[in-house]
């Protein structure tokens, strides 16, 4: 990578690993898991874990800005999360407003652009409004893309892409031979963002949970037992240092 980060004049030691200013992932995707368990451990209601998790989001966004990471995709709500108790869903749906109303000035200051992936039309109106305002205000920012996956499900996304492509073929807009990997990528929510280089999942669960199945084909995976509300700048840097020690071969040798 051509740039050097002024705040990281020298390479930094992170838990026995060297975090360098070069070879940072361009796009980091995170499954923010463990809020409920964090709260339970403290005898608190699950929603307290989500609120604490929101504070972690702020910390990680600040660090991603500092490191000049290009995109951060955060799995905030899956298409399957509607199965949770109604009060919990209602609390999660209030978080974007709570987060964006207090944090939008800082996002603007840091040149962060807010985007979403997922079926946002199915969200409550107040949630959509909060997201819409943030997306509009930050639309011309050119720094970190902060991409919230809300009401997102990867299989549904792929099904929609296939339907759209089939329709295009039927209407003779494209030929069957035009269907290639780029064609499919361009029909996904993430069409404007490069695939994640690094996928992080917190809380000890080791699965993808219907998150960016196509896009994560060549991502490096980092799993940690740390619960999302306990994840912090140092843990994030640790994951980046681990990433930098991986050899990405994309099927080659």
53 binds ligand FPP (CB under 6 A): yes
Structure-block tokens of residue 52 = 């604490």
235 binds ligand FPP (CB under 6 A): no
Given a contact cutoff of 8 angstroms between Cβ atoms, the answer to whether 114 and 140 are in contact is: no
Closest separation between CB of residue 163 and ligand FPP, Å?
27
- Strand runs (DSSP E) across the chain, as ranges? 12-14, 17-19, 27-31, 71-78, 113-117, 145-152, 198-201, 220-223
Q: Alpha-carbon distance 145 to 151, whole Å?
A: 18
Q: What is the radius of gyration, based on Cα positions, of the chain?
A: 19
Q: Alpha-carbon distance 201 to 32, whole Å?
A: 6
- Let me know if 225 is a catalytic residue: no
Which of 81, 97, 141, 232 does the annotation list as catalytic?
Answer: 81
Q: Select from 31-39, 127-135, 172-180, 190-198 the region that touches ligand FPP (CB under 6 A).
A: 31-39
Q: Alpha-carbon distance 202 to 217, whole Å?
A: 19
DSSP class of 185: H
Binding characters for ligand FPP, 145-174, by CB under 6 A (x = yes): ---x--------------------------
* Residue nearer to ligand FPP on the CB measure, 26 or 59: 59
Site for ligand FPP, residues 211 to 230, rule: CB under 6 A:
228
Q: Select from 2-10, 76-84, 112-120, 136-144 the region that touches ligand FPP (CB under 6 A).
A: 76-84
Closest separation between CB of residue 185 and ligand FPP, Å?
25
Structure-block tokens of residue 2 = 């051509």
Structure-block tokens of residue 79 = 């298409």
151: number of Cβ within 10 Å: 22
* Residue nearer to ligand FPP on the CB measure, 148 or 236: 148
Q: Select from 90-98, 113-121, 126-134, 156-164 the region that touches ligand FPP (CB under 6 A).
A: 90-98
Alpha carbons within 13 angstroms on the beta-carbon side of residue 61 total 27
Q: Which of 96, 118, 153, 196 binds ligand FPP (CB under 6 A)?
A: 96
With CA atoms as reference, report the closest residue to 49 among 10, 91, 14: 91
- Let me know if 81 is a catalytic residue: yes
Catalytic residue set: 33, 81
Q: Residue numbers of the site for ligand FPP (CB under 6 A)?
A: 32-37, 50, 53-54, 57, 76-77, 81, 92, 95-96, 99, 148, 203, 228
């Amino acid at each position: 990578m051509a740039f050097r980060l002024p705040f990281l004049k020298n390479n930094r030691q992170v838990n026995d690993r060297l975090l360098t200013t070069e070879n940072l992932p361009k796009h980091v995707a995170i499954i923010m898991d463990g809020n409920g368990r964090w709260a339970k451990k403290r005898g608190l209601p699950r929603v307290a874990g989500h609120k604490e998790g929101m504070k972690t989001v702020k910390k990680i966004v600040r660090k991603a800005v500092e490191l000049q990471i290009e995109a951060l995709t955060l799995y905030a709500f899956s298409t399957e999360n509607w199965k949770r108790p109604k009060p919990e869903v209602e609390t999660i749906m209030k978080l974007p407003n709570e987060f964006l109303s207090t944090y939008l000035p800082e996002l603007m200051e840091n040149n962060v652009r807010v985007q979403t992936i997922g079926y946002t039309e199915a969200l409550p109106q107040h949630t959509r409004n909060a997201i819409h305002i943030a997306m509009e205000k930050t639309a011309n920012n050119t720094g970190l893309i902060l991409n919230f996956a809300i009401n997102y499900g990867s299989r549904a996304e792929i099904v929609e892409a296939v339907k759209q492509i089939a329709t295009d073929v039927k209407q003779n807009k494209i030929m069957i031979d035009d269907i290639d990997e780029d064609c499919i990528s361009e029909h996904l929510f993430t069409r404007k963002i490069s695939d994640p280089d690094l996928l992080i999942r917190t809380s000890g669960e080791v699965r993808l949970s219907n998150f960016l199945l196509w896009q994560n084909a060549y991502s490096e995976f980092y799993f940690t037992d740390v619960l999302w509300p306990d994840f912090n700048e140092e843990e994030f840097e640790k994951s980046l240092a681990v990433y930098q020690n991986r050899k990405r071969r994309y099927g080659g040798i």
